[in-house]
Structure 1
Amino acid sequence: MILLIVALVGNHLTNAKHFPLHESYRFPLYGILTSMFLGTVILVITELTYSYFLRYIFKENITLRLALRFLFTSLGIITLLYIPIFYVFGKIEDADFDLYALSIGLLITLAICAILITAVYALEIYTLYKNQLEQGTLLIKNGNRKKVLRIKEISYGYTVHKIVYLVEENGTINPTDFTLKILESTLEAYGFFRASRNVLLHPRAVKEMKAIENGKLSVVLQPVFLEQEQLKIVVSRYKKKGFMLWFENGDSMLPTIEG
């Protein structure tokens, strides 16, 4: 129904003779049928492309880059099919090939498709993204041992003597073979922040904080380990603003990550 309405309105506005109030008005039946056919092809292409991405690309991870890749892949395929379809319908109508008409028609089609694809699939992709956040896991290795951690149960990670440890909410410490930089790129989407050169943490790891000398910030982490009463880190004045902005927005992340 939406496709029919778009075809009716679009074809009545593309040519003065097709406008209902024009003295030589002619119902644009051919244009409407062409638009309906092209629209159906575009719908099928987009749905097949989305099914492929859902099965092979979005299965492990969803990022903005991959979402844009889906959009531009769909538009690329539409472009490849639009050109021969335009040529075939031009032959049927016995019209001369017009590069200008092809270019303008293609640009308008791609613009409309980009808007419609975004409107139709954005919410679904975002829902998949949220589900992946809630169900996310991390496989860690320590020598020959392997362990799967649920990301929503990790409080923070830290480096000692070039070994990165991940601390769970229950206080369990897990040595890993990751670098903190790799963990940062992996866990950033889950609300983690690189608070210092040696520490990566989630808002749930922050017990309390206070400003100290030279514009720095003292942060008490939880849970503690090794029978320490408190575990503190210092956030530099250069990172303080970013840290506070991250932490203030952390409350909106917590329900998503902790389910």
Structure 2
Amino acid sequence: MANHLTNAEHFPLNESYRFPLYGIVTSICLGLVILVITELTYSYFTRHIFKENVTLKLALRFLFTTLGIITLIYIPVFYVAAIINGDNFNLYALSIGLLITLAICAILITIAYALEIYSLYKNQLEQGTLLIQNGNRKKVVPIKDVLYGYSANKVVYLVEENNTITATDFTLQTLEEKLEGFSFFRASRNVLLQHRAVKEIKAIENGKLSVRIQPNFLEQEQLKIVVSRYKKKEFMLWFENRIPVLSTIEV
């Protein structure tokens, strides 16, 4: 409608004005098709993709998958509409129309589904669990209760808020993959932290950071967690974004 009114001859007060019924009907039909595509795509992601994990990367994957499907539908619809309307195929008009459509769709999809995806993420944080097998015994640990995981003598342990320490059959890499999206950070080669475990951060030589955690069940030689200067910026960004007020930081 806005594009239609940009031409003076199409302005309602102009004598040659014609109500753009065809354009409006086409836009409504295309809008309904886009709505159905978006809802079906979201339903698929909810059942198969977001069921296991919800991350920003997966949310963007949902958005771009939806826009890709819309693009595949838009091109033949534009071509058929041009034939029905008796117009010649215009690549420029197709490109501009497609870009405007995708831009509008991206904004509306983000507005419509951002809260729903965030709710799935919050629900995941509250209900996510780890199944730990130790010999013939299995234990379910709520991820929200885990403060950190660490590796010692080729065994990976989990430390919970209630000071429980549990040996697992995971590697630290496997544990990191399972905890993706749950605000954990690989602070060093053998420690995976949740921000609530950080008690103190101290700047040390060569641009590194020394991190103290709580509760501390690490072996004596592993009491000192050192974040390399290469991961320092990433670590502080992760830490500051998760905690409104920082714990004690000494420089």
TM-score range, shorter chain: 0.7 to 0.9
Displacement of 1:241 after TM fit?
Answer: 5.5
1:128-164: CA deviation from partner (whole Å, max 9, x where unpaired): 1122122221122334432221111112111112211
Residue 233 of structure 1: aligned partner: 224
Q: 1:193 aligns with which of 181, 185, 193?
A: 185
RMSD between superposed Cα atoms in Å: 3.0
* Distance in 1 (alpha carbons) for counterparts of 2:205 and 2:4: 69
CA distance in 1, matches of 2:112, 2:142: 31
Cα shift at 1:190: 2.1
Q: Deviations over 1:89-113 (max 9, x none)?
A: 2232222233332232222212221
| 1:9 corresponds to | 2
Distance 1:184 1:252, change over 3 A: farther
Q: Return the match for 1:105 from 92, 97, 103.
A: 97
Q: What is the match of residue 159 of structure 2?
A: 167
Q: Kindly provide the amino acid, as one letter, of the partner of residue 226 in structure 2.
A: V
Aligned residues: 244
Give, in angstroms, the shift of residue 46 of structure 1: 1.1
The residue that corresponds to 2:44 in the other structure is 52
Q: Secondary structure at the match of 1:195?
A: strand
Aligned sequence identity (%): 71
- Once the two structures are overlaid, the 10-residue window that deviates more, 187-196 or 39-48, is 187-196
Q: CA deviation at 1:224?
A: 4.4
Q: How many Å separate the matches in 1 of 2:233 and 2:86?
A: 66
Q: What TM-score do you get using the length of structure 1 for normalisation?
A: 0.79
Aligned to 1:176: 168
Q: CA deviation at 1:72?
A: 1.8
Amino acid at match of 1:175: A
User: Which amino acid is the alignment partner of residue 225 of structure 2?
Assistant: V
The alpha-carbon distance between structure 1 residues 210 and 73, as it changes in their structure 2 partners (threshold 3 A), is: closer
Alignment match, 1:127 = 119
- Unmatched segments (≥5 aa) in structure 2: 246-251
Q: Distance in 1 between matches of 2:134 and 2:234?
A: 32
Counterpart residue number, 1:256? none
For residues 82 and 208 of structure 2, what CA distance do their matches in structure 1 show?
69
Report deviation, 1:50.
1.3
- Alignment map for 1:197-216 (pairs within 5 Å): 197-208=189-200
Residue aligned with 2:243, SS: helix
Question: In 2, Cα distance between the equivalents of 1:98 and 1:243?
Answer: 51
Give 1:193's aligned amino acid: F
Q: Which has the higher helix share?
A: 1
Per-residue CA deviation, residues 32-65 of structure 1 (Å, 9 max, x unaligned), is 1111111111112111221221222211211222
SS for the counterpart of 1:43 is helix
1:247 Cα offset (Å): 3.6
Structure-2 residue corresponding to 1:3: none
Which 10-residue stretch deviates more, 125-134 or 176-185?
A: 176-185
TM-score by length of 2: 0.81
Could you tell me which residue of structure 2 aligns to residue 74 of structure 1?
66
Which deviations, in whole Å up to 9, do the C-alpha atoms of 1:180-228 show, x marking residues without a partner?
A: 23323433532222232222222322345556677665544333459x9
Identify unmatched segments of 5+ residues in structure 1.
Answer: 1-7, 254-259
**What is the one-letter code of the residue matched to 2:139?**
K
